[in-house]
Structure 1
Amino acid sequence: MGGHAALAVHPASGHGAAARIAGRVAERLRTAVDRLDLLVANTVAESRALMHSSAAAGLDLLVVLGGDGAAHQGVQFCAERDVRLGLVPAGTGNDFARALGVPEDPLAATDAVLSGVEQRIDLGRVGDTWFGTVLCAGFDALVSERANRLRWPSGPRRYDLAIVSELAAFRPRPLRVRTEDTTLELEATMVAVGNTGYYGGGIPICPGARPDDGLFDVTVVGRASRTELVRMLPRLRAGRHLDHPAVQTLRAREVVLEGADWPAYADGEPQGRLPMAVRCVPGALRLAGAQVR
């Protein structure tokens, strides 16, 4: 394979899983590249500084060992520089890696990165920020806020606990969803703009979304009572929520969300509050070691 690669390790990912496997991942990478930089960062600022340092030396491939937060930082870096991104999942959610068919086992994922397989995929963009998975606003974004504050439990159960906690206070709000073809105005519970299908540790909110078709899949949930939301949750986990009467779906290249003063999250990271314009950028990321099926 050759070339100059960097391995970005986020040691806290997966409650320390990334730190435990990092040495073995680095060993496999070193056998296949001419130079490997090991970038160990505990904060976003540290991660960005280390990536910039490697880029100055002519980086060809950035391999991110961690969860969706780590992958999100890798996406920001690689999309701007046309550097290939390889994902080695070691987080609690791993939604981006799951959607791209990356092996769950970190060593198998490392081998995939080194296989020579490459594909360009789409990314979403809101303001100056890129995202690979889903941008959400409304009830699900409030759930993300709460889930990010929780330290227990991990993975999907943390998200489920946050859902239950948010149900008590939530009320539907007026929302306008504008695309290049359609305008929806309704009392809404939430909206999700999917470049890929999963968020929240494996919830297929936009189950048909593909990051290689130049379009978002948009899922809008209209007015729903607490009881209806509770009943919808098992269907949501199984990807069977799209036929619910409160749910509408759209496909679009650009989406403007306005009306409600809701927080928005993309890749599980806060993006401010509505109103917000979101754009799909075809082929924005060079992905190493995975192919969308």
Structure 2
Amino acid sequence: MTADDHLPGPPAGGPAPLAGGPVAVLANPTAGRGRHRALLPRLLDGLAAAGRPVRVLPAATPGEAEAACRAAVADGIGALVAIGGDGTVHRAMQAVAGTEVPFGPVPAGTGNDFALDTGFPADPVAAVDVIASALRADRTRVVDLARMTGADGAERWFGAVLAAGFDAIVNERANRMRWPRGPRRYDLAILVELARLRPRRYTLRLDGVAHELDAVLVAVGNCPTYGGGMRICPDADPTDGLLDVVVAGRVDRRTLIRVKPRIYQGTHVSHPLVTSYRARIVEVAADGIVTYADGERSLELPVTISAVPGALRLLR
């Protein structure tokens, strides 16, 4: 992530700058293994064409990125744009959730689930064009977010999916591994956790109704996809004020391997061992699981997740 000021005047013959503060940009040049790094100047120029000053936020770590976004919102920015993958979007989202500050996600990472599920083009340049058009027109569209609260009162927001089962366990193992590097580390973590696969006892409380069950996979979705296009919660809609919960029950190793590819089409929910629920407030409890929200390490179970209608104003 980088720091810079990009402060052009309005384009010749274009409209005067809109009222409000500058557009703050959180840019992650390492997202998507850096494949869009060279595009950053073009993307900044595209945002500047909306006629507002553009300020790139300084951040070298995910924690610094989130802090920079919060500081920018506190300073009165007019909008926040995140250029990167779901992790970058997730960090920026913590600062604008529940505020009036408009937000634009530019998909430039390995996984871009939230941006794509909320209607932004997959091409970063096209996404910037959409955001710049919305800035010029002072146009936003609201979507829901999920607000998560831990047992200690800690709060986090997520936009796409919370993983609280096998996939979260795999992520946690992969993050502890120092070898191998790159995507092979995740593949190896899958193999290790498949060998250790066992159902865990969960307590789900859905709008106050308790469900005790054994499961290997639990996902809570505000949007349908996670992991770069896997439709884990295929019917989730970020404008309906509800959360979708998908649970894979007492699934053995062979069945999980057979069913998992079906997640890309969302057809796994028809399997007899997969159950779907819908609720406004979802409480999830189980021993020894750290959740992953939008692909980012998040709160340890138990957590309470609430659908918050209209919590985010998108520049669309």
> TM exceeds 0.5?
yes
Asked if the contact 2:197–2:252 (Cα under 8 Å) also holds between the matched residues in 1, the reply is: no
Partner of 1:104: 122
Letter in 2 for 1:277: T
Matched, 1:170 2:188: no
Letter in 1 for 2:143: I
Aligned residue runs from structure 1 range 187-226, under 5 A: 187-226=214-253
Letter in 1 for 2:182: W
Aligned residue runs from structure 1 range 93-242, under 5 A: 93-116=111-134, 117-127=139-149, 128-148=155-175, 151-153=181-183, 162-180=189-207, 182-242=209-269
Aligned residue runs from structure 1 range 281-292, under 5 A: 281-289=308-316
Letter in 2 for 1:126: M
SS at match of 1:242: helix
Give structure 2 stretches of 5+ with no counterpart.
1-16, 150-154
Question: What is the CA-CA distance between 1:246 and the residue it aligns to?
Answer: 0.8
Report the more deviating stretch, 100-109 or 77-86.
77-86
Report the more deviating stretch, 90-99 or 30-39.
30-39
Within the candidate set 237, 242, 248, 2:275 is matched to: 248
Give structure 1 stretches of 5+ with no counterpart.
none
Question: What is the CA-CA distance between 1:198 and the residue it aligns to?
Answer: 0.7
Task: Name the larger-Rg structure.
Answer: 2
- Cα distance 1:285–1:115, how it changes in 2: closer, same or farther (>3 A)? same
CA distance in 2, matches of 1:54, 1:182: 40
Aligned residue runs from structure 1 range 19-34, under 5 A: 19-34=37-52
CA distance in 2, matches of 1:114, 1:13: 22
Letter in 1 for 2:166: F
Report the more deviating stretch, 65-74 or 136-145.
136-145
CA distance in 2, matches of 1:255, 1:107: 37
Asked if the contact 2:143–2:239 (Cα under 8 Å) also holds between the matched residues in 1, the reply is: yes
CA distance in 2, matches of 1:41, 1:204: 32
Asked if the contact 2:99–2:312 (Cα under 8 Å) also holds between the matched residues in 1, the reply is: no
Deviations 1:122-179 (A, max 9, x none): 11011211100111112111122245566423xxx87665433420112111111111
Q: CA RMSD in A?
A: 2.0
Q: What is the TM-score of this pair, normalised by structure 1?
A: 0.91
Asked if the contact 1:18–1:65 (Cα under 8 Å) also holds between the matched residues in 2, the reply is: no
Question: What is the CA-CA distance between 1:271 and the residue it aligns to?
Answer: 2.1
CA distance in 2, matches of 1:177, 1:189: 14
Partner of 2:288: 261
Letter in 1 for 2:231: P
**Paired residues, what number?**
286
Report the more deviating stretch, 190-199 or 45-54.
45-54
